[in-house]
A and B are shown apart, each in its own frame.
Chain A
Amino acid sequence: MGSYLVKRIISLIPILFGISILVFTILHLVPGDPASIMLGTEATPEAVAVLRAEMGLDKPLVSQYLHWVGGLLQGDFGVSVHTGQEILPEILKRFMITLQLTLMAVLIGWTLAIPFGILSAIRSHSKTDKVIRILTLLGISVPNFAVGTLLLLGLSLYFNWFPPIDVTSFWDDPAEAFKVFILPAVTMGIAVAAGVMRMTRSAFLETMDKDFIRTARAKGNSMWTVVMGHGLRNSSIPIVTIAGMQIGYLLGGSVIVEQLFSIPGLGQYVLDGIYQRDYPVVQGGVLFVALVFVLVNLIIDLIYTWIDPRIKY
């Protein structure tokens, strides 16, 4: 286990380098000169030249890249062109907001998905199963910004209710934070629930066909005991896989929901960076999300060995 962990972490190094090269390359593909784009059309050539020197744009690409990565390794993500603030502290601050939103969405999604997914599998091809499957397909097919907009529309139209404007954290004021995060979390939670439910159903269908389930039932155990004692653990690998992927996607993919509900999370930071052409911010934000994504995948791999001791690396 220990040596596997070391091996996995070492194998991540080339991937991390690849990620940094990709992010750097994409944002240096920008047609035209980033410095003059950032300063706008009225900028004097002198101002552009100063900014170019400041950003190191006058140096060759390779040395720009090495300079950037050198900084990253020391925890220096550079400064925002727009505000002049250090990027990493801002990313961390906003990541905490996105994290709270993600956890709440995942909580909502899983509490809906796992019981209904199991129900749908053990009653497969019944009416209940059909209704659940149709709802699942809808959940996958309606884009989250449409869900969010319709939720906002419905609540404001019929209940005259709007989410609070000021964003608070759960550790500052849980009740107020709940009001802030509930709508975006439900919006994201619906998509999470649909994905997990689908996977839970198919994983359970597969497990419930196995001989040991039949044996367990034949011994006279109730359906409940069999599902909880044998079914759940043996179907959890694919469920954990999809759940892990979703956490990764939510942490970075909450861009849209954050924008829709004006939540100042990491997604909105990157998006604002894009709108303001603040490339160091976009570069840092995208890289950070990819790092988190890779880390979540690593944790999922470790969870596998805990769920199923037969998996040995």
Chain B
Amino acid sequence: MSTFRRRFFENKTAVVCLIVLLLLALAAVFAPVLSPYDPTQMFQDHRMEGSSGEFMLGTDQFGRDIMSRIIYGARVSLMVGLSSVLVSAAFGTLFGLIAGYFGRWIDGLIMRVMDVLFAFPEILLALAIVAALGPGAFNTILAIGIVNIPIFTRTVRGAVLSIKNQEYVESARAIGASTPRILFLEIFPNVTAPLLVQASLAISGAILTESALSFLGLGIQPPDPSWGGMISEARRYMELAPGMIIWPCVAMTITILSCNMFGDAVRDILDPRHRGK
């Protein structure tokens, strides 16, 4: 792990992205303190204004402060992104460990189910699940979480297959360790590297899907601010107040870009095959 830490801090991209992501996380956590106004408070006399000292990024069609809405939007995006990846990683790891370790028909069954989940474009499957469960933050997390389970299952299964016949697993079995013990204490710690890479890449995808669902009106529901929802609402006032569209786009791009670059950097650091490319 210390070589990981050293390589990590040598990688400028990784460090810069981590700082950006930490700042975003701080903004999300301390949204009530940092945002100048309540994100749903309407200033009737200040509708669709441009940037000013009073409203840093201007106001929207109801006179709500765009800056405050973007800060609260970060909260939604990061929360949905992180929780849904947590859901996928938890189930994906469990299925991947079981499929990889036991092999035979259990493996066949689990992987066929994953093939079925893989047969849908992710946004469409997420849409179908949200359509059935109804919109809202919790269902959005659930939908995106389910859609991403197969990627994690495949990653973990692949890693398990490559290590399950190594001596330390053999010896754990020989001294009579129970199967759960072997799975979680011997094998699991050794699949965390690919898992971490997959998770950091999946977060950006999850944030993207959340914003797309909210854009379609099926994710986070107004008046709660979400970046996708803000862009969707702003389309009608596009020419009158371009800032209403541009700022959420900028916020979203910065977030997803740093997630992607962070994921790539972590992969380069952890995966010897990618090093030096």
Task: Decide if A29 touches B133 in the complex (CB within 8 Å).
Answer: yes
Considering only residues 92-117 of chain B, those with a C-beta below 8 Å from chain A are: 112-113, 115-117
Task: Decide if B228 touches A153 in the complex (CB within 8 Å).
Answer: no
Given contacts A140-B260, A141-B256, A143-B256, contact A286 B120 (CB under 8 A): yes
The segment from B65-73, B81-89, B244-252 that touches chain A is B244-252
Task: Decide if A270 touches B260 in the complex (CB within 8 Å).
Answer: no
Q: Mark A130-143, 1 if CB is under 8 A from B, else 0.
A: 00000001101111
Task: Decide if A18 touches B116 in the complex (CB within 8 Å).
Answer: yes
Interface residue? B148 (CB, 8 A): no
Residues of chain B with a CB closer than 8 A to A152's CB:
235, 238
Interchain nearest-CB distance for B234 vs A (Å): 8
Residue of B215, B232, B248, B252 ringed by the most chain A CB atoms within 10 A: B215
Residues of chain A with a CB closer than 8 A to B23's CB:
none
The segment from B26-34, B123-131, B182-190 that touches chain A is B123-131
Interface residue? B1 (CB, 8 A): no
* A256 touches which of B116, B216, B253, B257 (Cβ 8 Å): B216
Residues of chain B with a CB closer than 8 A to A289's CB:
120-121, 124
Residues of chain A with a CB closer than 8 A to B260's CB:
137, 140-141
Residues of chain A with a CB closer than 8 A to B231's CB:
145-146, 149
Interface residue? A313 (CB, 8 A): no
Residues of chain B with a CB closer than 8 A to A249's CB:
121-122
Residue of B120, B208, B216, B256 ringed by the most chain A CB atoms within 10 A: B120
Closest to A18 in B: B116
Given contacts A252-B121, A289-B121, A293-B121, contact A18 B132 (CB under 8 A): no
Q: Mark B120-151, 1 if CB is under 8 A from A, else 0.
A: 11111101110111100000000000000000
Q: Mark B230-244, 1 if CB is under 8 A from A, else 0.
A: 011001001100100
Task: Decide if B131 touches A205 in the complex (CB within 8 Å).
Answer: no
Interface residue? A97 (CB, 8 A): no
Task: Decide if A14 touches B228 in the complex (CB within 8 Å).
Answer: no
Interface residue? A175 (CB, 8 A): no
Task: Decide if A26 touches B132 in the complex (CB within 8 Å).
Answer: yes
* B249 touches which of A22, A29, A142, A156 (Cβ 8 Å): A142
Closest to B254 in A: A141
Task: Decide if B123 touches A282 in the complex (CB within 8 Å).
Answer: no
Residues of chain B with a CB closer than 8 A to A282's CB:
128, 131
Interface of B is mostly: helix
Task: Decide if A143 touches B245 in the complex (CB within 8 Å).
Answer: no
* B218 touches which of A153, A274, A293 (Cβ 8 Å): A274
Interface residue? A237 (CB, 8 A): no
Considering only residues 181-223 of chain A, those with a C-beta below 8 Å from chain B are: 202, 205
Considering only residues 161-214 of chain B, those with a C-beta below 8 Å from chain A are: 204, 208, 211-212
Kindly state the separation between the CA atoms of A274 and B133 in the bound complex, as whole angstroms: 11
Residues of chain B with a CB closer than 8 A to A14's CB:
112
Q: Mark A243-274, 1 if CB is under 8 A from B, else 0.
A: 00000110111011001000000010011001
Interchain nearest-CB distance for B39 vs A (Å): 20
Interchain nearest-CB distance for B116 vs A (Å): 4
Interchain nearest-CB distance for A131 vs B (Å): 16
Interface residue? A57 (CB, 8 A): no
Residues of chain B with a CB closer than 8 A to A6's CB:
none
Task: Decide if B112 touches A253 in the complex (CB within 8 Å).
Answer: no
Task: Decide if A248 touches B121 in the complex (CB within 8 Å).
Answer: yes
Name 28 interchain pairs, CB-CB below 8 A, sorted by A.
A14-B112, A18-B112, A19-B116, A26-B128, A26-B132, A27-B131, A27-B132, A141-B253, A143-B212, A145-B211, A145-B212, A145-B231, A146-B248, A146-B252, A146-B253, A150-B246, A152-B238, A153-B246, A249-B121, A252-B121, A253-B122, A255-B123, A255-B124, A255-B127, A259-B216, A282-B128, A289-B121, A289-B124
Q: B-side interface residues toward A, CB under 8 Å?
A: 112-113, 115-117, 119-125, 127-129, 131-134, 204, 208, 211-212, 215-218, 228, 231-232, 235, 238-239, 242, 245-246, 248-249, 252-253, 256-257, 260-261, 277
| Complex A-B, nearest 10 residue pairs according to Cβ-Cβ distance, in ascending order | A18-B116, A252-B121, A141-B257, A274-B131, A253-B121, A141-B256, A146-B249, A252-B124, A249-B121, A29-B132
Extra inter-chain contacts (19) besides given A150-B245, A256-B215, CB under 8 Å: A15-B116, A15-B119, A27-B132, A31-B133, A137-B260, A140-B260, A142-B253, A143-B215, A153-B239, A153-B245, A156-B238, A252-B123, A255-B124, A256-B212, A259-B216, A270-B124, A290-B119, A290-B120, A293-B120
Q: A-side interface residues toward B, CB under 8 Å?
A: 14-15, 18-19, 22-23, 26-31, 137-138, 140-143, 145-146, 149-150, 152-153, 156-157, 202, 205, 248-249, 251-253, 255-256, 259, 267, 270-271, 274-275, 282, 286, 289-290, 293-294
